[in-house]
Amino acid sequence: MRSRPKIQLFLAPTPALPGRSLRAELVLSSRSDTPCDAIDVRLVGTERRLRSVVLAGNVTSAHYETFPHVSLGLRTKPQVLTKGEHRVSVNFDLPEGIPPSFESSNSTIEYELDVHVVIPWWRDRRERYLVPVCVPPRAAKGKSKTYCSHQGGPHGKELYTELSLEKPSVERGGTVVGAISFANVQWSRFRRVELAFVGVESTIDPGFTRPVDEVVRHVVVLKEGAPSEGEPLPFRVKFPEKAVPAFRGRYTSLAWFVEVRAVIALGSDVTLTVPLDVLERRLEDENPQSSRSRLPRVPPVGKERRALVWAEVATRAGLVNDAERERMTSKRTDASGGGELAITLEHRGKDGLWTVASLRWPRLGIELSVGERKWLDWKKAVDLDDASFAERLLARGREDAQVHAFLDAQTRRTLLGFTQVTVDDEGCMLASPGTAHEFTDLLAFVTRAVDAFHQLVGRAGKIPPPARFAASIDAWQRFAREHGGRLELGRPYIHDATWDREPMELGTRWIDGEPSATLARFRLPPDLADTADLASLLQTKAAELQIAANAPRIVRGHLEATFAAPLADPSVLGPELDRLAVLARALRGEREGGPYR
C-alpha cells in the first residue's frame, strides 16, 4: 500500500551565508513501502519590488518587478521508500553577493526550498520551506567619529547639535556607544531628546514608486526636558537583534542611520542624522577581541570638545589658558608699560558666537578713537593716507602726528583683518564671528590677535609728545627719572612718581586740543571721608602753607592742585609740591617730625 511520506528538513548553517555552501538534509518517514519516481529538491531566491500602483475604476492594481538571484536543484533516481526513515542530503553553493532575506511594504527577498516527492499513481508529497539568508559577517571599518549639525559651530540662535560615536558601525544586536551635546539651548523649548535607529529603503531605478522610504525606526528617549548647555549626554543603546543589516540587491537597497532628535514644543523638531554601518554578528571565534573587553573611547563633544580645541590653540599661541572660563590671556612688560591680552567667547544673540580679543595698555594720552565708519559720522577724522582703512574705519586724535605714529601701515593692515574694531587711549576690542569649535579657525583668530597685541603695545612707545611740548619734553623725562615715575608722552603726564615720600602724579590736562592746566595729585587713604571738617582742615592748612595753586581740593581719594599750562619744566613746581606733600600728611592726621616740617 502506498503512503505519502512525512518530510523533515534540517539546514546547516542557519541562516545561510552568500558565497558559502548550504547543506539541506531531508528525513523522509514512510509507513510502508512506497515507490517514488524522483525526489526533486530546488532552491529558488527571488527579489520582488513594487514598481507602480494603477487605479482602474475603484480597483487598484499593483505591478511588481522580479529578479531571480538563485535557482539551484537536484533530482534523485527512482527508488522505493521502504518502511522507516530515509535521508537525502543536498549541498547548494550559494553565489557571492546575493542579498539577505528581507520584507517590507515595498519589497520582498525570499529564498524558498521546494521538496517534491513524485509518487506514481498517488498524490505527490510537496513541501516548501523558507530558507533564511543573512549578510556575510565582515570586520568593522572606521574609527571614532564626531558629527555636527552646522559646519563651524553654532549659527545665531539656531539649536546646534554634536554627536560622537565610539565607532560608526555596529553588529546586529550590538551596542552603539556615543555622546550628544547641544548649544543655544536657551532659545529652544525642549520636550525631550531622542535617539533612533532608522532603516531607509531605496531603489536603484528612480522609476519605481516610492524610491526612498523609511521602513524601520527604533526610538529610545535619552532625556526628558532640556539638556544643559554644551554638556555631553553619553549613551549606550542596544541595536535591535532582529534587524536586517545594510545590503544592496537588484532593485532594493537598505541603509541605516542614527538620528538624534530634539523634540521642541511650539516649534519644529531639530534632527541630526548620520550614517551607521550595520554588520552581521560574527561568531565568537571570528571575533576574539570583543568590544566588552575594553573601555569605549567616545570622542568628546560640546564643552569637552571645545575645551580641547581651546587648550591646544592656547598652547600653540603661547597663551595662558583658563579652561573653566574659556579665556586665554597674555601679558607683556616693557619700557612703555606693556599690556594685557584676553581672548574670550561672546554670544551676540541672533549673530551667534563671536571670538573677542580685549587688549589693554597704559593710557596713551592722545585722545585716540578708532571705530567702524557710520554714514552719520560728521566729525573730522585723521587722514592716514590709506584708502582701504578709511573706507571702513575712522581714526581721530588730538594731533594727527601722534595718531600717524601709533597707527602705522602694518598695524592698520592687522586691524583690518578683524570684523569689528574699536580702539581708544587705553586699549582696543577686536572681534570676528567664530565658535571655537574648529581648531584652524580659532588658531587663525588667536594668531592675528597676538600679532595685533604686540604691534599695538610696541607702537605705544613710538608716540611723539604734543607739538607744544616738543622743546621741553627732555625736562619732563628727566623729572620722571629723578622721581621714579613713568612718563606718558602723549599728554605729557607722569605716573607713579614719589615726591617727599608721597605717591604723586603730575601732568597736563587738555580741553579742546589745548593744554588747560597742569595737574598735581597726591594719594590719600581711600577710606578718608570727605566731610565738612576735612574741608575746613584743607582750607586752613592750605592757607598756613601759603600754597599758590588754585584751590587745592579732594577728588576721589586724591589731593589735587592745578597750575598754569603748558609747563616747560616740572621742577619749577618744587616748592609748591613740597607744601602739597605736607598738606597730604596733615589731612591724614600725621605730624611733621622735624623743625622744618
In a domain, 366, yes or no: yes
Assess whether 326 and 193 both reside in one domain.
no
Residues 459, 411 contacting (CB under 8 angstroms):
yes
Q: What is the per-residue pLDDT for 549?
A: 61
Q: How many residues does the chain have?
A: 597
In a domain, 136, yes or no: no
Assess whether 312 and 222 both reside in one domain.
no
In a domain, 465, yes or no: no
Assess whether 500 and 534 both reside in one domain.
yes
Assess whether 25 and 114 both reside in one domain.
yes
Q: Is 101 helix (H, G, I), strand (E, B) or coil?
A: coil
Assess whether 316 and 283 both reside in one domain.
no
In a domain, 480, yes or no: yes
* Rounded Cα gap, residues 332 and 319, in angstroms: 11
Q: What is the per-residue pLDDT for 51?
A: 86
In a domain, 138, yes or no: no
For the segment 152-161, what is each residue's pLDDT rounded down to a tens digit? 788 888 899 9
Q: How many CB atoms lie within 10 A of CB 271?
A: 15
* Rounded Cα gap, residues 32 and 574, in angstroms: 138
Q: Identity (one letter) of the amino acid at 438?
A: E
CATH number, domain containing residue 149: 2.60.40.640
Distance of CA 8 to the CA centre of its chain: 61
Q: Which secondary-structure segment (H or E) carries 97?
A: none
- The 3-class SS string of 323-374 reads CCCCEEEEEECCCCCCEEEEEEEEECHHHCEEEEEEEECCCCCCCCEEEECC
Last residue of some domain: 412, 429, 460? 460
Q: What is the per-residue pLDDT for 378?
A: 61
In a domain, 595, yes or no: no
* Rounded Cα gap, residues 245 and 277, in angstroms: 8
Burial 11-22 (b: 16+ CB within 10 A, else e): beeeebbbeeeb
Q: How many CB atoms lie within 10 A of CB 51?
A: 15
* Rounded Cα gap, residues 203 and 207, in angstroms: 9
Assess whether 27 and 121 both reside in one domain.
yes
Among candidate residues 168, 438, 149, the one with its CA nearest the CA of residue 308: 438
**Facing residues of 347 across strands?**
353
- Number of domains observed in the structure of the chain: 4
Return the C-alpha cell found at 383: 587722514
Assess whether 317 and 375 both reside in one domain.
yes
Assess whether 294 and 310 both reside in one domain.
no
First to last CA, the chain: 146
Residues 217, 196 contacting (CB under 8 angstroms):
yes
Q: What is the per-residue pLDDT for 165?
A: 93
* Rounded Cα gap, residues 296 and 177, in angstroms: 7
Among candidate residues 90, 81, 84, 83, the one with its CA nearest the CA of residue 26: 90
* Rounded Cα gap, residues 404 and 379, in angstroms: 18
Range of the domain at 344: 305-460
Counting as low any pLDDT under 50, the low residues of the chain are 285-293, 594-597
Assess whether 358 and 267 both reside in one domain.
no
For the segment 302-322, what is each residue's pLDDT rounded down to a tens digit? 888 888 888 999 999 999 998
CATH number, domain containing residue 561: 3.30.1460
Q: What is the per-residue pLDDT for 353?
A: 86
Assess whether 118 and 149 both reside in one domain.
no
Q: What is the per-residue pLDDT for 373?
A: 86
Edge-to-edge strands of the sheet including 550-555?
486-488, 493-499, 502-511, 514-523, 558-563, 550-555
Assess whether 158 and 227 both reside in one domain.
yes
Last residue of some domain: 299, 314, 348? 299
* Rounded Cα gap, residues 373 and 392, in angstroms: 5
Would you say the pTM of this structure is higher than 0.75?
Answer: no
